[in-house]
């Protein structure tokens, strides 16, 4: 296990993290698949891939496409379901020493609630991350993430059954991020994370068809970083609860920028597809940045942007 750098130690919603760099949902599967490649206990934390009430097969292939400065994905939230995760994956995860967050999604408020109910009966999780970038089938397909009232509804319902901290992952595909951030906060969210991917399209000009099997997909990676930074900054200035920033982080200085913008911690996703150890490298680079800048603690960077 990598030695702990005390300058990087932080906390999120009362959860102690050895560093502020967390592996994002989907980047490490359920976590246990990578335990031979990566010292998961040395990560700041780990968010497992999205969990639903029942298993989901996902979207047709191809599901991933490398772009000039990132990646488009349309996996379709494929997963084994919350019960199978709790039975087959969580016991092994609990032994790895990482702060593990379960990413939760659904297509109705009761779906989110039921997944959390299932997971509440099991040990090994530090908290939950609610993916609200899903259409609410009971409200004509309106996305939870685009309507403050729907965001508030699902967060309030989950908070009534969750003993662990609840973080809400916000979508960037909205006209203004502040109303959604405030809706999550006022409904009891312990933190928010942003941004999720941007809706994107890639076309094969020879076949004139999309390059992704499902048509549209989610753009992530370095291409989205400047926009993600702006949204994190705006959200952090609007709420008092912690903000976790993500979107194109590939280096320690990238992570520092998100912290300066107002994030308490960061998540790394796309970079892990190229290098499964990227989160550990980014944390080490962030430690080097602190030393060069003569900053004693990572918390001293948070929200120090001069606007």
Active site (catalytic) residues? 134
Angle at 285 between CA 235 and CA 42, to 5 degrees: 85
DSSP string across 156-177: HHHHTT-SS-EEEE--S-SS-S
Q: Tell me if residue 214 falls in helix, strand or coil.
A: coil
The pLDDT-based confidence of 129 (bands split at 50, 70, 90) is very high
**Domain at 10-60+77-198+221-300, CATH from 1.25.40.10, 3.20.20.70, 3.40.50.2300, 3.40.50.300:** 3.20.20.70
Place of tokens 């959604």: 180
Place of tokens 């016991």: 91
The H or E element that residue 274 is part of is helix 271-274
Angle at 194 between CA 189 and CA 199, to 5 degrees: 125
pLDDT of residue 13: 96
DSSP string across 64-82: EEEETTEEEE-----B--H
Cβ pair 99, 44 in contact under 8 A: yes
Looking at every residue in the chain, the average pLDDT score rounds to: 95
Q: Mean pLDDT throughout 172-188?
A: 97
Question: Above pLDDT 90, what percent of the chain?
Answer: 90
pLDDT of residue 136: 78
Cβ pair 45, 102 in contact under 8 A: no
Strand segments (E) across the chain: 10-12, 15-17, 21-23, 45-51, 64-67, 70-73, 100-104, 127-131, 135-136, 142-143, 166-169, 191-194, 198-200, 203-204, 209-210, 217-220, 243-246, 265-268
Q: Mean pLDDT throughout 95-121?
A: 95
Assess whether pLDDT exceeds 60 at residue 294. Answer: yes
The pLDDT-based confidence of 2 (bands split at 50, 70, 90) is low
Q: Mean pLDDT throughout 74-78?
A: 92
Rounded Cα gap, residues 294 and 169, in angstroms: 32
Rounded Cα gap, residues 211 and 215, in angstroms: 7
Cα separation values, 145 from 16, 128, 158, 186, 196, Å: 28, 17, 15, 15, 10
pLDDT tens string 233-270: 999 999 999 999 999 999 999 999 999 999 999 999 99
The pLDDT-based confidence of 1 (bands split at 50, 70, 90) is very low
pTM: 0.96
């Amino acid at each position: 296990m990598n030695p702990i750098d005390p300058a990087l130690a932080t906390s999120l919603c009362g959860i102690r993290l050895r560093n502020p760099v967390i592996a994002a949902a989907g980047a490490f599967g359920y976590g246990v698949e990578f335990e031979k490649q990566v010292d998961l206990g040395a990560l700041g934390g780990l968010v497992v891939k999205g969990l639903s009430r029942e298993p989901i097969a996902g979207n047709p292939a191809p599901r991933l496409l490398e772009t000039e400065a990132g990646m488009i994905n349309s996996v379709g939230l494929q997963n084994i379901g919350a019960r199978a995760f709790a039975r087959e994956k969580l016991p092994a995860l609990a032994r790895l020493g990482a702060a593990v967050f379960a990413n939760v999604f659904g297509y109705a408020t009761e779906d989110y609630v039921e997944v959390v109910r299932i997971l509440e009966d099991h040990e090994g999780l530090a908290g939950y991350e609610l993916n609200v970038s899903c259409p609410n089938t009971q409200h004509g397909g309106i996305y939870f993430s685009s309507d403050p009232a729907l965001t508030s509804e699902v967060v309030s319902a989950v908070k009534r059954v969750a003993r662990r901290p609840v973080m809400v992952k916000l979508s960037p595909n909205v006209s203004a991020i502040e109303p959604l951030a405030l809706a999550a906060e006022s409904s009891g969210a312990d933190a928010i994370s942003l941004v999720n991917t941007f809706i994107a399209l890639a076309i094969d000009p020879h076949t004139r068809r999309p390059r992704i099997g499902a048509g549209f997909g989610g753009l992530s990676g370095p291409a989205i970083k400047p926009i993600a930074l702006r949204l994190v900054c705006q959200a952090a200035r609007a709420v008092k609860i912690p903000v976790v920033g993500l979107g194109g982080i590939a280096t320690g200085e990238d992570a520092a920028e998100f912290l300066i913008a107002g994030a308490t911690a960061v998540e790394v996703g796309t970079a892990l597809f190229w290098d499964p150890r990227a989160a550990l490298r980014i944390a080490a680079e962030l430690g080097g940045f602190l030393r060069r800048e003569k900053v004693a603690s990572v918390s001293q960077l948070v929200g120090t942007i001069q606007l």
